[in-house]
Amino acid sequence: MDVYLQDGTVIATGNARQQFYDARGYGHPVEGNAIELTPVEAAHLLLRGDISAIHDEGTAHDLASFIKMVENAKFAARLAVYIDLRSRGFYLSPARDKWVEEFHSKADFVVYKRGKGPEDRDAVAYQLRVLGERETIDIAELGEYELAVADEEGEITYFKTDIPEITGTVTTDFDGTATGQLLSDRVICWEYPKSLYDPAFYGQPLIDRGETTAGLQLSIIEAAQLVAQGILSLPGGYEQIVDRGRSVEGERFDRRLQIYASLREQGVAPKTGFKFGADFRTYSQVESVNDLGHSERLIRVVPTDYAILPRDLSLDVRMAHGVRKDMVYAWVENDSVSFRVLKRLTP
């Protein structure tokens, strides 16, 4: 078998198609029994000892010299992911035109279900994008592919990303209105419709003794949204509470308020996510606050065009997983709210 470089591409001849492509899913057929290999695939075959060298203008490259020749900013991370998935029993193809029929523009690999390979067009398990731990990724680009992050020691962490449909059944039908008193970064309602707290789940009573409650404390986000709806009256009205919100939270306030209002419109009850390091935790159903289930999601509100490091993604997702919740990122763009959910993935 001859293995050589041709115009920057690795070509393997002889019985390469039968040995590598048909039997084990490496490369892509070209002419006769020859196949084309990407540098990552060729490096993996060198590492395994399936090929001994790659020839280029009279020079026989071993693994070290071949990697030195082809290495680029993405090569090390892609090779680490390729080695890991192969060791788990997966066949995978580089996301290239003519190699695979359909793939996401951001994907590096198309990964097939175990026991399947490139000839099984309907057997794709993952569209996989590869990142190094120090690369940033735009949150808005997530949702239609999976992530593989290679850390500096070559260990791989996988994430599933998606565009979630966030809906719920929390009622916002109130049997009256409330009057509030603005105190620093919160509002106290001394008289309020009981349905505001239970079952709509706004605020927290200062005293809660079952059937007896006294004083409902609202976050400034909750209060601003209720004033905008005409449910809550405050001296100075909506302008005053928004000004107060901006003074205590800065530019974060407006986007958090818009996302809070959007969640409420979808029948979801957002509450503070402070203890989890997030903006909100959310409940899609509240029959009674005295018999409250676990919140389902943690919402982190981020700026438009937000880029995040994989280590921060890992921290957020691990925290959410540890408390049995999904990690969701939310942002506002052109007055529209977008969400992305991330979960740990074990291929």
Contact 147, 131 (CB under 8 A): yes
Contact 252, 184 (CB under 8 A): no
- Which one is catalytic: 82, 294, 321, 329? 294
283 part of the active site: yes
Residue 189 structure tokens: 């309602």
Contact 215, 203 (CB under 8 A): no
- Which one is catalytic: 28, 158, 325, 329? 325
The residue ranges of DSSP E strands in 35-94, in sequence order, are 35-37, 54-56, 59-61, 92-94
Closest by CA to 199, choosing from 294, 136, 131, 267, is 267
Residue 63 dihedral angles phi and psi, to the nearest 5°: -60, -45
Residue 110 structure tokens: 């198309």
Residue type, 120: D
Residue 254 burial (C-beta neighbours within 10 Å; 0-12, 13-18, 19+):
middle
Residue 173 dihedral angles phi and psi, to the nearest 5°: -90, 115
- Which one is catalytic: 91, 158, 192, 283? 283
> What would the DSSP string read from start to end of 173-194?
--SS-EEEEEETTEEEEEE--G
271 part of the active site: no
294 part of the active site: yes
Alpha-carbon gap, residue 56 to 67, rounded angstroms? 13
**Residues classed as catalytic:** 283, 294, 325
